[in-house]
Amino acid sequence: MSEQVVLAVDLGGSSMKGALVTEHGETLVTETRLTPEIDIVEALIELLHSLEATASVRGLQVIAAGVVTPGIVDEQAGVVRYASNLGWKDLPLLHLLRARLDMPVAIGHDVRAAGLAEQLLGAARGADDFVLIPIGTGVAAALVSAGGTLTGATGAAGEFGHIPVVPGGELCTCGQRGCLEVYVSGAGLARRYQARGGEALSSKQIVARLGADPHADVVWAEAVQVLAQGLAILTLLLDPRVIVIGGGFAHAGEALFGPLRDALTAGLAWREAPRVVQALLGSEAGRIGASILAFRAAGRGDVVDGWTVAEAVAV
Amino acid sequence: MSEQVVLAVDLGGSSMKGALVTEHGETLVTETRLTPEIDIVEALIELLHSLEATASVRGLQVIAAGVVTPGIVDEQAGVVRYASNLGWKDLPLLHLLRARLDMPVAIGHDVRAAGLAEQLLGAARGADDFVLIPIGTGVAAALVSAGGTLTGATGAAGEFGHIPVVPGGELCTCGQRGCLEVYVSGAGLARRYQARGGEALSSKQIVARLGADPHADVVWAEAVQVLAQGLAILTLLLDPRVIVIGGGFAHAGEALFGPLRDALTAGLAWREAPRVVQALLGSEAGRIGASILAFRAAGRGDVVDGWTVAEAVAV
């Protein structure tokens, strides 16, 4: 009998990352394309068909497909309510994909799917209550409580980047003031560094200057402090066992995690801080989550139990 | 056949509010006692036995008991992990009650139980995603997502009163700075009014002076603003359908809800605000929640479907 695989796609504003993933959690093939400005659904279906054709050539049996997207995703209804960087509003994505793919299909939210992947085989393995916070250009979060990912009444839960943490603070691109990601994101860090008279640097370059550049030290210290405040809020509201930080920020390593843990502990007077750790699956987490959703859609959600990180992220 | 009732007790730091509640949701008898400084468990059991005796005299069949307490409550383990105003730490309350009561017993967290009551027959009726925020001397919250009440990894979820909302803000009695309840609670409002040179007034008296007393206007406006910030945080993280405000603060009526709704809407740039409404069950919500937990412990959780607010709060 031929090996069974699923099609998994992490659809983002700039690229569509696709893969074939086996029931053993092995990523056999990846195929990444730029996300077009228009006809995104058509381009997505082309990518899925291309992956399907690759599977056929290799003699693999495709049993399901999973696609995760940013925005406000209603998994139950199969509708992307709103995705600003895809230009989608109330798009019945599940229906559109089912009409063109002869297999079970699942859609999901990219960060919540990444949280699922970190929970089942990554840094939050075994935790029923945890938070995954990918910090890149912007900030998102997957909030998991008692084993379930919080979606909210309209699929909009987890907007950690836009919680107002500094009353009357700096203006965010979203139109609100004092949002966490004004201070903590890659974009926010670069903008605040430049506003102090620094050059146009990436957050990675700013981190590289810590200890040698007072402007870098200040904006980084403020980012850590605001992030610690945000983690204190999450801790007091949700009481997670572990907080997993992903995205580019997490690559700062101990320059981030050392002072962040100290600031979180200092901010919590009467309760212990949860563990704060780096994500394990990196930028693959969303795609791996999509493959898990696909296996679930095929009634094979149990296969994930035997997966390992090394196989999941390897090609 | 005699009518079936449960014993329900809302155990607080100052009083123990007990009742007999029928399977039709009718509160037949209430019995309230002061909470003693020591031997609280013994006093609680005495109250339960007294309610049981009253039931016996009336020819009622007691089928279960439910007790709700403040603090960090692990419902699954039946343990109160920590309750500062009861002096309890890792108290196996469920075990202690079972040893002295010959019936099914449930324990719960007072605010989460109140949230359950508001959800099943109060202001959040029919909502699967909502937040209940009782604002009295302090501030707590029951967070309900997809029909389930969030408890967190250690039973400590929902500490909305202590989320840090003003970086480096005023000192809270908890030892942290800038906690929401420093600005929003009854105690916080009275303290801040006095700090401005005002008399020692209750929050109710301060609200009565709105429009005629500039100090009252200022501390109230700041309370509303900070509460709106907190509700924006809850909205962005949890995406509730409705936010229910209870406790003494909610009695301010439109002096609270009008400006609060405006400030929440103004603070949310790109998403709609959820409905913000007053709690229906008032100070009875915890005890009613305890009775629901008791019926569940007796395998009769379905009886609540037919309950009405009027019967639940009446004696």
The CATH number, out of the four listed (3.30.750.24, 3.30.420.40, 3.20.20.70, 1.10.3720.10), of the domain defined by the range B4-115+282-313: 3.30.420.40
Question: What is the percentage of chain B residues whose pLDDT exceeds 90?
Answer: 84
The encoded tokens of residue A65 equal 């497909």
Q: Which H or E element spans position B236? A: helix B214-238
DSSP secondary structure, A154-221, as one string: TS----GGG-B-STT-PBPTTS-BSBHHHHHSHHHHHHHHHHTT-----HHHHHHTTTT-HHHHHHHH
B105 vs B6: CA distance, rounded Å: 10
Report, at the CATH architecture level, how domain A128-278 is classified: 2-Layer Sandwich (3.30)
- Nearest-CA distance B57 → chain A (Å): 43
Q: How far is CA B152 from the centre of its chain?
A: 17
| Nearest CB partner across the interface for A150, out of B158, B163, B238 | B238
Burial code (b: 16+ CB inside 10 Å, e: under 16) for A169-190 equals: beebebebbbbbbbbbbbbbbb
Could you tell me the pLDDT band of residue B285, with boundaries at 50, 70 and 90?
very high
Could you tell me the pLDDT band of residue A315, with boundaries at 50, 70 and 90?
low
What integer pLDDT is reported at residue A220 of this predicted model? 97
A67 vs A48: CA distance, rounded Å: 9
B chain contacts of residue A236, beta-carbon cutoff 8 Å: 159-160, 162-163
> Of the candidates A269, A276, A261, A225, which has an alpha carbon nearest to the alpha carbon of residue B162?
A269
What integer pLDDT is reported at residue B278 of this predicted model? 96
- What is the average pLDDT across B305-309? 84
Same CATH topology for A4-115+282-313 and A128-278: the answer is yes
- Nearest-CA distance A175 → chain B (Å): 6
Q: Are B260 and B229 in contact (CB under 8 A)?
A: no
B163/A268 CB distance under 8 A: no
- What is the average pLDDT across B2-19? 94
pLDDT at A130 > cutoff 70: yes
> Of the candidates A145, A137, A63, which has an alpha carbon nearest to the alpha carbon of residue A112?
A145
Could you tell me the pLDDT band of residue A306, with boundaries at 50, 70 and 90?
confident
B chain contacts of residue A153, beta-carbon cutoff 8 Å: 127-129, 239-241, 274
Residue B175, judged by CB atoms within 10 A of its CB (0-12, 13-18, 19+), counts as exposed
What integer pLDDT is reported at residue B1 of this predicted model? 67
A264 vs A224: CA distance, rounded Å: 9
Question: What is the percentage of chain A residues whose pLDDT exceeds 90?
Answer: 84
B164 vs A81: CA distance, rounded Å: 31
The encoded tokens of residue B296 equal 């569940």
A152/B269 CB distance under 8 A: no
Could you tell me the pLDDT band of residue A270, with boundaries at 50, 70 and 90?
confident
Could you tell me the pLDDT band of residue B100, with boundaries at 50, 70 and 90?
very high
DSSP secondary structure, A20-76, as one string: EEETTS-EEEEEEEEPPSS-HHHHHHHHHHHHHHHHHHTT-EEEEEEEEESSEEETT
ipTM field: 0.91
Q: Which residues pair with A277 in a beta bridge?
A: A244
pLDDT tens digits for A143-187?
A: 999 999 999 998 899 999 999 999 999 999 889 999 999 999 999
DSSP secondary structure, A76-140, as one string: TTTEEEEETTTTEEEE-HHHHHHHH-SS-EEEEEHHHHHHHHHHHHSTTTT-SSEEEEEBSSSB-
- What is the average pLDDT across B157-172? 95
Whether residue B170 lies within 8 A of chain A, CB to CB, comes out as: no
What integer pLDDT is reported at residue B47 of this predicted model? 98
Q: Are A17 and A32 in contact (CB under 8 A)?
A: yes
- Domain extents in chain A: 4-115+282-313, 128-278
pLDDT tens digits for B209-245?
A: 999 999 999 999 999 999 999 999 999 999 999 999 9
Question: What is the percentage of chain A residues whose pLDDT exceeds 70?
Answer: 99
pLDDT at B306 > cutoff 90: no
> Of the candidates A288, A294, A222, which has an alpha carbon nearest to the alpha carbon of residue A25?
A288
pLDDT tens digits for A177-233?
A: 999 999 999 999 999 999 999 999 999 999 999 999 999 999 999 999 999 999 999
A167/B225 CB distance under 8 A: yes
- Domain B124-278: CATH superfamily, name plus number: ATPase, nucleotide binding domain (3.30.420.40)
What integer pLDDT is reported at residue B85 of this predicted model? 83
Q: Are A205 and A220 in contact (CB under 8 A)?
A: no
CA distances (Å), B285 to each of A142, B110, B112, B197, in order? 31, 9, 10, 36
